[in-house]
């Protein structure tokens, strides 16, 4: 079974959190699910470096990383991931979606209204505590 180390950014701006929705996906259980943006850590990269690179690639957005908020080990049907989430801040909401269908800025209290990818669900729970 494949294993990936990935990072995710819980990006806040004006008290709201950025949520992005995946498009069509080879794995049916990830199609059109919401997630916190991020991606795979490449060989030789530190977590923070990977996160800054992924957010620039996916959203053309500059962020500042504050602190680590969660580490989630999640088993999907076809692969396993360790997802490390960081609290981040954006000075602007101006972004360009290069990989996702939709981006929403929501208050924390509204996060559970979305259909989240499995690995992101524990992060949502962590934010609601």
Kindly give the confidence (pLDDT) of every residue in the chain, 129 residues in length, as a single tens digit, with 9 standing for 90 and above. 999 999 999 999 999 999 999 999 999 999 999 999 999 999 999 999 999 999 999 999 999 999 999 999 999 999 999 999 999 999 999 999 999 999 999 999 999 999 999 999 999 999 998
pTM (predicted TM-score): 0.96
Rounded CA-CA distance 70/126 in Å is: 8
Decide: 76 and 29 in contact? Cβ < 8 Å: yes
Cα dist from 44 to 41, 80, 104, whole Å = 8, 20, 32
- The CATH number for 2-128, chosen from 3.40.50.2300, 3.40.50.2000, 3.40.50.1820, 3.90.79.10, is 3.90.79.10
Decide: 40 and 6 in contact? Cβ < 8 Å: yes
Would you list the domain boundaries of the chain?
2-128
């Amino acid at each position: 079974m494949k294993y990936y180390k990935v990072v995710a950014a819980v990006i806040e701006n004006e008290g709201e959190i950025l949520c992005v929705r995946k498009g069509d996906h080879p794995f049916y259980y990830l199609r059109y699910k919401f997630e916190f943006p991020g991606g795979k850590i490449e060989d030789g990269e530190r977590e923070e470096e990977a996160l800054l690179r992924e957010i620039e690639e996916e959203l053309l957005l500059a962020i500042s990383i504050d602190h680590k908020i969660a580490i989630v080990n999640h088993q999907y049907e076809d692969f396993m991931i360790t997802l490390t989430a960081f609290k981040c801040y954006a000075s602007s909401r101006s972004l360009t979606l290069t990989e996702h269908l939709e981006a929403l800025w929501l208050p924390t209290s509204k996060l559970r209204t979305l259909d989240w990818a499995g690995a992101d669900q524990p992060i949502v729970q962590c934010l609601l505590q």
